[in-house]
């Protein structure tokens, strides 16, 4: 199907058509463990390769600007408090990439396809309509020095170590943990923070603690959604 609809999924138009074939009509909200995971307006919405946003062109409102980036207002408030508290401990968190529109994500994804091929692109960037950044609830963070930007070694930098230990207190989780690519389908991203609210973040953090019998550190595992290793189309 992908080849008939444009080779390397040539741009947002082909992706919109593909997404339109699989996205269901709006339905009544379904609560899972007391959380709304389908509504794109929910802070606990689950977005992955099996679960596109509905509608795929969803635009979060309202958005708050954080220097050159944006987050949804609730996530932005939590993020700004986190940055303030980290700075008081001499850790300077820098916003690298926040909200991305459907079209922005389409352009980014297509550029990766052209550079690396579709198979590799699908491990490092989401297709439009499937990106957490499109919810306005995700922020990639970095160090002011630029050390280990968007690399695994980020975890050992001042900001990487600080957010791993403290981000949950502000409602953020590391969405793509180490060793979970088979579940999330994305490589380890210690810089990718996802706002889910303090209640859920606390539960995810508790499940991710070393030695925990639950060993739950992804939204897929917490909500028992199964793995989402690849797209359904």
DSSP code for 135: G
Question: Which candidate in 69, 132, 180, 189 is catalytic?
Answer: 189
The stretches of 117-155 forming alpha helices (DSSP H) are 118-124
8 Å CB contact between 40 and 60: yes
Active site residue 221: no
Q: CA distances (Å), 136 to each of 6, 47, 118, 129, in order?
A: 29, 12, 25, 12
Q: Which of 70, 20, 32, 23 is nearest to 50 (CA)?
A: 23
Q: CA distances (Å), 143 to each of 6, 64, 79, 150, in order?
A: 39, 21, 15, 10
Query: Distance between CA atoms of 148 and 209, rounded to whole angstroms?
Result: 24
- To which residue do tokens 């550029």 refer? 111
Q: Sign of the CA dihedral 58, 184, 92, 94? A: negative
Write out the catalytic residue numbers.
189
């Amino acid at each position: 199907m992908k080849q008939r609809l444009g080779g390397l999924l040539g741009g947002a138009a082909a992706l919109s058509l593909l997404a339109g074939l699989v996205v269901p009509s709006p339905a009544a909200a379904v609560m899972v463990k007391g959380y709304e995971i389908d509504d794109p307006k929910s802070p606990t919405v689950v977005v992955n390769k099996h679960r596109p946003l509905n509608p795929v062109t969803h635009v979060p409102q309202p958005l708050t600007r954080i220097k050159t980036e944006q987050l949804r207002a609730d996530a932005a408030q939590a993020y700004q408090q986190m940055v303030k508290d980290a700075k008081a401990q001499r850790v300077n968190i820098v916003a690298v990439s926040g909200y991305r529109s459907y079209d922005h994500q389409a352009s980014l994804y297509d550029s990766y396809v052209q550079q690396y091929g579709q198979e590799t692109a699908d491990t490092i960037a989401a297709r439009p309509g499937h990106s957490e950044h499109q919810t306005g609830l995700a922020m990639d963070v970095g160090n002011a020095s630029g050390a280990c930007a968007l690399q695994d070694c980020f975890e050992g930098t001042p900001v990487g170590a600080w957010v791993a230990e403290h981000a949950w207190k502000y409602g953020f989780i590391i969405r793509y943990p180490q060793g979970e690519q088979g579940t999330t389908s994305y490589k380890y991203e210690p810089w990718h923070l996802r706002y889910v609210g303090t209640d859920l973040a606390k539960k995810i953090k508790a499940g991710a603690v070393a030695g925990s019998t639950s060993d739950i550190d992804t939204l897929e595992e917490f909500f028992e959604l199964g793995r989402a290793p690849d797209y359904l189309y």
